[in-house]
């Protein structure tokens, strides 16, 4: 038996209502015992005094088809190499490439890799600024259903680009087709908003987009400054946004290269709309900045007024609920697989940068120390590692 004992750390597990100085014993890749002052009993001791021990962090929006185009990153760079145990690809592949993604990206990864299947057969092959949904033939519900049924252990939903560039003359028809598909498959939709790539393209009205969504569907890029976002020209939330929130539609940060704006975030938060999930929208182009990793994105939310417990909750138990995987991740519990992130909380001033190079003085920093998955301890990679 391979045993590890995380000793002396602050266990912060919002999903279990735990926050205190508790040890965690792991045996053969599973959580064996949680409690104060546990004895070693032959286990290898990991001294985590002064550190945070949290459930394995979950990044619910990334682009991980490594080797495909300019964006695809190695899942273990944003995953265990960033103190994160679960990473979720946000529609890099449509139905045709999903088996390739599974075999060559997800299965060899040390991180747990989940995925949204793209509504468009093209997925991200053509890039975000192209009309990937404008030709009705690029949506093949039958084949999407087939690939989902063959990969339900990995697929968590259907990704849709709700932008003028992607939809073209089809308007909202693709989104309505996605709605029916999601209903048939009993899967949520992950809907991108914010016209950040299509030059001159007109996004659909956010109210019309939200009218196609149901409880459990997810809007990503909730703090985008680009056309098609959640705010009207007067800086107020569109009424349909509040109605959607009240109905059970979920909202994700989706930082990315273009879609986290501090001024927009303040306006949205001041009007009472808070994120259900925090994610990086990480890829090769934003790993060197402004995104870096999930702990940095969490620290940016702390600079916007969230507590440590709140951002850990977003990245653990809330993320698990968003993915409909609460029975297997999001909390540290005896008998569960040992997926744990260890972080350092530092009280120091640093300059947080958003997607438009706006700055905010943050007072606390979060940095990964290591991640544990399948009984293995993974050290963080340099932020300069982006492939």
Predicted local confidence at residue 1, as pLDDT = 62
End-to-end CA distance of the chain: 35
User: Among candidates 63, 12, 59, 1, which has minimal Cα distance to 34?
Assistant: 12
Topology (CATH level 3) of domain 57-322: TIM Barrel (3.20.20)
Q: How, if at all, do strands 218-220 and 250-252 pair?
A: parallel
Integer Cα distance of 36 and 45 in angstroms:
14
- Both structure tokens of 69: 């185009």
Query: Which of 3.40.228.10, 3.40.50.2000, 1.10.10.10, 2.30.40.10 would CATH assign to domain 3-54+333-346+363-378?
Result: 2.30.40.10
Alpha helices by DSSP H, the chain: 75-78, 98-101, 141-150, 164-167, 173-185, 206-210, 239-247, 262-270, 294-303, 308-313, 319-322
- pLDDT band for 301, please (50, 70, 90 cuts): very high
- Which residues, at least 6 apart from 139, have a Cβ–Cβ distance to it below 8 Å? 119, 120, 121, 133, 174, 177
- Both structure tokens of 253: 């940060």
User: Among candidates 60, 132, 134, which has minimal Cα distance to 96?
Assistant: 132
- Both structure tokens of 324: 């409909």
Domain boundaries, the chain: 3-54+333-346+363-378, 57-322
Give the pLDDT confidence of 188-224 residue by residue, as tens digits: 999 999 998 767 789 999 999 999 999 999 999 999 9
Count Cα atoms within 13 angstroms, Cβ side, for 87: 34
Sheet architecture: strand order including 44-47: 30-35, 23-27, 3-7, 44-47
Give the pLDDT confidence of 225-264 residue by residue, as tens digits: 999 999 999 999 999 999 999 999 999 999 999 999 999 9
Give the pLDDT confidence of 105-154 residue by residue, as tens digits: 999 999 999 999 999 998 887 666 678 898 999 999 999 999 999 999 99
Predicted local confidence at residue 124, as pLDDT = 81
Give the pLDDT confidence of 309-349 residue by residue, as tens digits: 999 999 999 999 999 999 999 999 999 999 999 999 999 99
> Burial level of 36, CB count in 10 A (0-12/13-18/19+)?
exposed
The alpha carbon dihedral of 136, 226, 242, 239 has a sign of negative
Give the pLDDT confidence of 36-65 residue by residue, as tens digits: 999 998 999 999 999 999 999 999 999 999
Q: How, if at all, do strands 18-21 and 10-13 pair?
A: antiparallel
- pLDDT band for 81, please (50, 70, 90 cuts): very high
- pLDDT band for 267, please (50, 70, 90 cuts): very high
């Amino acid at each position: 038996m391979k045993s590890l004992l995380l000793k002396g750390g602050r266990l912060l597990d919002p999903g279990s209502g735990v926050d205190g100085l508790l040890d965690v014993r792991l045996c053969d890749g599973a959580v064996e015992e949680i409690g104060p002052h546990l004895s070693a009993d032959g286990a290898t001791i990991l001294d985590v005094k002064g550190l945070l021990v949290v459930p394995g962090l979950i990044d619910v929006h990334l682009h991980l088809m490594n080797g495909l185009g300019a964006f695809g990153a190695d899942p273990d760079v944003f995953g265990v190499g960033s103190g994160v145990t679960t990473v979720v690809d946000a529609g890099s592949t449509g139905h045709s490439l999903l088996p390739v993604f599974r075999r060559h990206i997800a299965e060899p990864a040390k991180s747990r890799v989940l995925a949204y299947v793209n509504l468009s057969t093209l997925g991200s092959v053509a890039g975000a600024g192209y009309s990937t949904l404008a030709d009705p033939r690029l949506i093949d519900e039958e084949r999407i259903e087939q690939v989902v049924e063959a990969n339900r252990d990995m697929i968590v939903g259907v990704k849709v680009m709700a932008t003028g560039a992607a939809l073209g003359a089809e308007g909202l028809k693709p989104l309505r087709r996605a709605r029916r598909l999601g209903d048939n498959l009993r899967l949520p939709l992950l809907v991108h908003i914010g016209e950040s790539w299509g030059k001159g393209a007109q996004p659909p009205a956010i109210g019309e987009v939200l009218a196609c969504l149901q409880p459990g569907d997810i809007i990503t890029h909730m703090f985008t400054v680009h056309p098609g976002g959640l705010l009207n020209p007067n800086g107020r939330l569109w009424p349909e946004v509040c109605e959607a929130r009240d109905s059970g539609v979920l909202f994700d940060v989706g930082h990315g290269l273009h879609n986290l704006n501090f001024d927009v975030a303040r306006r949205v938060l001041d009007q009472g709309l808070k994120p259900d999930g925090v994610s990086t929208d990480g890829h090769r182009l934003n790993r060197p900045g402004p995104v870096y990793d999930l702990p940095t994105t969490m620290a940016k939310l702390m600079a916007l007024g969230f507590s440590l417990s709140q951002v850990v909750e977003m990245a653990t138990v809330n993320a698990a609920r968003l993915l409909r995987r609460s029975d297997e991740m999001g909390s540290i519990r005896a008998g569960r697989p040992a997926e744990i992130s260890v972080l350092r909380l530092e009280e120091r001033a640093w300059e947080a940068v958003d997607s438009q190079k706006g700055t905010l003085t943050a007072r606390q920093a979060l940095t990964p120390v290591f991640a544990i998955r399948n009984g293995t301890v993974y050290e963080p990679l340099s932020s300069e590692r982006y492939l």
